[in-house]
Amino acid sequence: MPQMCDDECPFCNLPRERVFHEGHLFKAAWDIFPVSTGHALLILNRHVATWFEASQEEQIDLVGGIAIVRGIIERLHSPGGYNIGVNVGQAAGQTVFHLHVHVIPRYRGDVVDPTGGVRHVIPERGNYRVTGRQDR
């Protein structure tokens, strides 16, 4: 059974002025602690903690929302790429237990070496390439 929202959930009580798009089953808002310029969140309307508690319809709507939000970010900024992510559970770094998807624009030069992308959630395992090795 889904958890009911309460006064403690920042996404259940999201100020309207933070919302820049509303989908069928989600809303999109700018992250208040952005990793980069244009960092957006797709927040499920229904209060469930994780991706795996969402219905298939909700998951599909969130995935479709990524392209919509990307289009909005593209109109406002000029990123060279994106990281898209969902933190599921405290061990994975989830701090707000209301399902949300991060759409993080990336810019050329924002880090010295972006190789490995989301693999850097465990920093020493992020860059898996061996210098001089060619992919076959």
What is the per-residue pLDDT for 2? 45
Task: For the chain, give every domain's residue range.
Answer: 16-107
Task: Say which amino acid occupies 15.
Answer: P
What is the per-residue pLDDT for 3? 53
Q: What percent of the chain has pLDDT over 90?
A: 74
Give the mean model confidence (pLDDT) for residues 13-31. 95
pLDDT tens string 62-115? 999 999 999 999 999 999 999 999 999 999 999 999 999 999 999 999 998 888
pLDDT at 46 over 70: yes
pTM (two decimals): 0.87
Question: Which helix (H) or strand (E) element contains residue 26?
Answer: strand 26-30
* Residue 117 Cα to chain centre, angstroms: 14
Task: Say which amino acid occupies 50.
Answer: T
Name the CATH architecture for the domain at 16-107. 2-Layer Sandwich (3.30)
Concerning whether 47 is annotated as a catalytic residue, the answer is: no
pLDDT at 124 over 90: no
Point out the catalytic residue in the list 24, 39, 77, 100. Answer: 100
Q: Report how far residue 31's alpha carbon sits from residue 100's, in angstroms, rounded to the nearest whole number.
A: 11
What is the per-residue pLDDT for 119? 79
Q: Report how far residue 106's alpha carbon sits from residue 70's, in angstroms, rounded to the nearest whole number.
A: 12
